[in-house]
Structure 1
Amino acid sequence: MENNQQHLLIKLANTKMPYGKYKGRFLIDLPEHYIVWYKNKGFPSGKFGEQLHLVYELQLNGLEDLVRKIREK
């Protein structure tokens, strides 16, 4: 895995939702229906939107535990 990809996953593993109903919850732990809602609505622009899109892709492929294991280390 490239160093940049590792950095993205490590950052994602430790990033929490900054606002709303799920404020303070790790992004990777957001409910799937919420991430799908964002997908349908349109992800926010910028780094935060990119992270939510990555969460969507990880959840879609059942890889959330990979990120959770990174956070545990």
Structure 2
Amino acid sequence: MISDTCLRRYGKTSLMLTFLNEKRENYIFVDCRLMQRGVFTLKSFIEILEEELSRLDWARDLLKNIEEVRVWTFWS
């Protein structure tokens, strides 16, 4: 997992996506800016992740073989 916390408007997203595309590996990019400001819930994260996974052919093929997912969190 990669997390970048520089100031805004420095090209972090472009840098990360360029690197990932040049590696020619499958990846999932979750843009947490899509979540409501100040609200981070497991549900909102899963919704964004689900949307991203549904757009990727390789991910849909991979997910077809998953029978069960368990999520454990440090917070309640």
Same fold per TM (> 0.5)?
no
**Structure with the higher helix share, 1 or 2:** 1
Structure ranking higher on relative contact order (CA contacts 8 Å, 6+ apart): 1
Which structure's CA Rg is the greater one? 2
* TM-score when normalising by structure 1: 0.32
